[in-house]
Amino acid sequence: MPSISTGKVLVSGANGYVALWVVESLLKRGFSKSQHLVELFKSYKDKLREGAFDEAVKGVDAIMHMASPFTDKNNKVEEFVHPAVDGTVGILKSAAKHSGAIKRIVITSSMASVMDLYPVPSLYTEEDWNNHSIEEIKKLGDEANVTHMYMASKSLAEKAAWDYYNSVKATIGWDTGDYPSGNRPMLQEISQPSQLNQSMEMFFKSVMSGTSNEATEELVLSPMGGWVDVRDVAEMHALALTNEEAKDQRFLAVSAIAEICLYPTDSQRRKSPLLRKRFDASKSMRVLGIKYKSLEETTGACLEDFAGRNWI
């Protein structure tokens, strides 16, 4: 199907950190909003029912699937994998019932589906998959590290989405694209740092490492991997609808390695080996024409936002 430049877009998880920026980017381009999902889904569990998205996808020209559960309360494999896989495949199944109207679907994944946790330097591209975490949960089940559970759920959900799409590709009228993205300012109305999402909370605590008791050395030295400005991620999602070459493609959204947050002082750098996990995002720049903001630009915007909220 051709790319689209106007129409109605359904954005699942539209109250989320990244999704809010995507909605803003779409509205600036003249796309119209789809019906609100709050009344359709009172909780994320509602999205796991067979046909849960059937009503939501009616009358839309495109879908941005960005809703995904995350909580640090889970400690069982199925609590991670079941919602991630069923929620993603579920919206594709609903879309397949209305394939004549829908032209393109963009799915937001995670770098967790790309990078592994092997303690070796690595360079990742769109061809890579995190099979390491999948192997760990198959081998250890609920005894596996929760980080592997989370990362495996992202990898399994994305794999399931591609498998389903390829199985019905000949009979539907829409294309699909996929964005494992890494992030960071905020559009949410929140009043205190404790309400930040997981990635922003880690970043905030790292920034405040000199004044916050919560910013332990373990947190400051933890490998955060790729870094990308959330505004660039939003731009890429919009370009996925308007760029014909984006159909059936997987793109990494990464602009830098967050070493500045991992090792703020020379003494801390010497205490921990630097295992570089790098990402090649040249495909997104070549195909979509995206120009990533620098680490300095993103950090400055975040600090300005924190200051405006009287947090620093």
Q: For residue 84, which of 140, 137, 34 has the smallest C-alpha distance?
A: 137
Sign of CA dihedral 120, 122, 126, 128: negative
Question: Is the pLDDT confidence value at 274 over 90?
Answer: no
Rounded to whole angstroms, how far apart are CA atoms 43 and 55?
16
**pTM score of the predicted model:** 0.81
Most confident range (mean pLDDT) of 14-23, 131-140, 161-170, 213-222 is: 131-140
Question: CA angle, 199 as apex, 276 and 33 as ends, to 5°?
Answer: 125
In sequence order, the β-bridge partners of residue 177 are 106, 249
Residue 93: per-residue pLDDT: 93
Rounded to whole angstroms, how far apart are CA atoms 131 and 44?
26
Question: Is the pLDDT confidence value at 29 over 90?
Answer: no
List the structure tokens of 277.
């996990």
pLDDT in tens, 156-212: 999 999 999 999 988 887 777 666 665 566 666 677 887 787 777 777 776 665 544
251: Cα within 13 Å, side-chain hemisphere: 32
Sheet architecture: strand order including 8-12: 32-33, 8-12, 62-65, 104-108, 175-179, 249-250
Contact 43, 97 (CB under 8 A): no
Instruction: Return the minimum-mean-pLDDT range out of 15-24, 35-44, 219-228, 237-246.
Output: 35-44
Looking only at the bridges linking them, the beta strands covering 122-124 and 104-108 are: unpaired
Domain ranges of the chain: 8-183+229-254+278-292
In sequence order, the β-bridge partners of residue 124 are 279
Chain centroid to CA 279: 15
Rounded to whole angstroms, how far apart are CA atoms 155 and 138?
13
pLDDT in tens, 97-142: 877 788 899 999 988 899 888 877 788 899 999 999 999 999 999 9
Residue 226: per-residue pLDDT: 61
Residue range 8-183+229-254+278-292 in CATH 3.40.190.10:
no
Mean pLDDT estimate for the chain: 78
Contact 4, 29 (CB under 8 A): no
Residue 279 dihedral angles phi and psi, to the nearest 5°: -130, 135
